[in-house]
Amino acid sequence: MAAADALGAERVLLGAMRSRRPKDLVLKLIGQLDHRAARRVAMAEADIAPEIRCALIRAAARRPAALSRTAETRTDAEREVILAASQAWRDDVWALLEAPPARPLWAQLARDTDAGPLVTNLLLDRADGLDDLVLLACLQSAFAKDPRKDDLFSGTLGASLILARLVKVTAQHPRAFLLHGAGLRDAVATAAGEMVNEIREEGIYESSWDTFEALASVCTTPAVLADAAQCLCQATPPTWQQHPTPEWTAARSQAADALARNPFCPAEALARLAPFLSEAAAARFIEHPDQHVREAATRIADQAEERIRLPQPSQPTQRTRSVGPPVTPDDTLAQQEDPAAALSTFLPLKGPAAYRRETAQAILDSRYVDISHLRRLPAAMVLAHTAHAPAVATLLLQELGDRSKAWDRFRNSTLRLTPSAPKTLGALVEEAIADTP
């Protein structure tokens, strides 16, 4: 639409709205607006009926012509222009959505056939504290089962996009699994299935192993984790690469560690993963209840001990170095005047997410850990560590008592946790007892 025509349509629409012209005419005029004009009209008028406001937002959410797919090859300058236009478009739609009069319309707009995808993405990415109705509508829109097949969302690439999206959404909106658990678990299973099918047929690139880490951070289905573990054990490099490189092997080991850390990973999968685990990760499972897991983990530990006895090369490679969390071993802690206090110096957890999880696991495995440490560690990891179940039960009985509302809150909070959730056990308890008599 030419600039003059757009401006004319905008002026006619404002006149029609102010003179209370028939609704059908107003809606027809709105259909001629672009996102900039729709934003200006909505900002210019304070008293707009919900149906008209929805129509303005739908008009703004239509993809601008400048962003339509045209030539396959573009210059860097053209790409910059397109990127700026895309950002301006999304900003205009968000400005309409975040206006207070539009907030009651969020659930309806998220379910809209045309505007829904953009509205959903903006709400999940930019809005905080979504209520249950809106969040559920967004999750149903974002992770709906679409019978249409898009090659972009198949195979390892599609799995990486979907799982990365799930990681981000569940981190920003912790209630996601509680509200739409079945749908999200289906999305995880579908993405995992696409990934492992392609890997079994075509192999896997070194750079694609991090998709397993994303899967491990959101998957709560043992069968899916078992299938992923089997795929990892049997995986080969892509067909053009004859042998695994050290980098490829190291990336697989990191992916195996991530799957093994997931508390929903079944024992048979852990036994499969054991030969590919790093030494630090394998050491956690030496006292696992399952005999096969214990035996596999012990073999890794014995092999590591044997390597220590052998003469060391003057220039060890990156693959032979073992880097673990800086938690003092129990034998050293035993020499301290107060071992528990010494262990407390590693709290609160610091560093990158993976490093914090390594440190938390090392603290949980220490024989000097007490309830003060457990309160400050990630609840998902504490609750998955069976050795601490009696101490956790005692804590909950003391803190929650006979308050049924507090117990319900705590149970609901634990259902929302993903395996990599950073929220501490103490925070969950405090939330549960807040405002309860």
Q: Each residue's pLDDT tens digit in the chain (437 positions)?
A: 444 455 566 776 766 676 677 667 777 777 777 778 888 887 877 778 888 888 888 888 888 877 665 444 566 677 777 788 888 889 989 999 998 999 999 999 999 988 999 999 999 999 988 999 999 999 999 988 654 444 445 678 888 889 989 998 988 898 899 899 999 999 999 999 999 999 999 899 888 899 999 999 999 999 999 999 999 999 999 877 778 888 999 999 999 999 998 888 888 898 889 888 888 887 777 777 778 777 777 776 666 556 555 555 544 444 434 445 567 787 787 887 888 888 888 888 887 777 788 888 888 888 888 888 898 998 888 887 767 877 887 888 888 777 778 888 887 777 777 767 788 888 888 888 887 66
In sequence order, what are the beta bridge partners of 378? 424
Question: For tokens 């001629």, what's the residue?
Answer: 32
Q: What is the pLDDT of residue 314?
A: 47
Q: What is the pLDDT of residue 154?
A: 66
Residue 118 tokens, joined: 């953009």
Q: What is the pLDDT of residue 185?
A: 93
pTM to 2 decimal places? 0.64
Q: What is the pLDDT of residue 184?
A: 94
C-beta of residue 242 within 8 angstroms of C-beta of residue 287 = no
- Write the CB contacts of 64 (distance below 8 Å, at least 6 apart in sequence): 34, 35, 85, 89
Cis check: omega of the bond before 378, within 30 degrees of 0? no
- Please state the φ and ψ torsions of residue 378, each to the nearest 5 degrees: -55, 130
SS3 424: strand
Angle (deg, nearest 10), helices 404-416 and 425-433: 140
Q: What is the pLDDT of residue 183?
A: 92
SS3 26: helix
Q: What is the pLDDT of residue 321?
A: 40
Question: For tokens 């405090």, what's the residue?
Answer: 430
C-beta of residue 333 within 8 angstroms of C-beta of residue 368 = yes
Please tell me the distance from the alpha carbon of residue 303 to that of residue 99, in angstroms, as a whole number: 62
C-beta of residue 104 within 8 angstroms of C-beta of residue 50 = yes
Helix ranges (DSSP H) in 102-175? 106-110, 116-126, 132-142, 155-172
Q: What is the pLDDT of residue 322?
A: 42
Angle (deg, nearest 10), helices 116-126 and 50-61: 90
3-state helix, strand, coil in the chain (%, to 5): 70, 0, 30
Q: What is the pLDDT of residue 6?
A: 53
In sequence order, what are the beta bridge partners of 424? 378
Residue 277 tokens, joined: 């685990």
Residue 182 tokens, joined: 């079945």
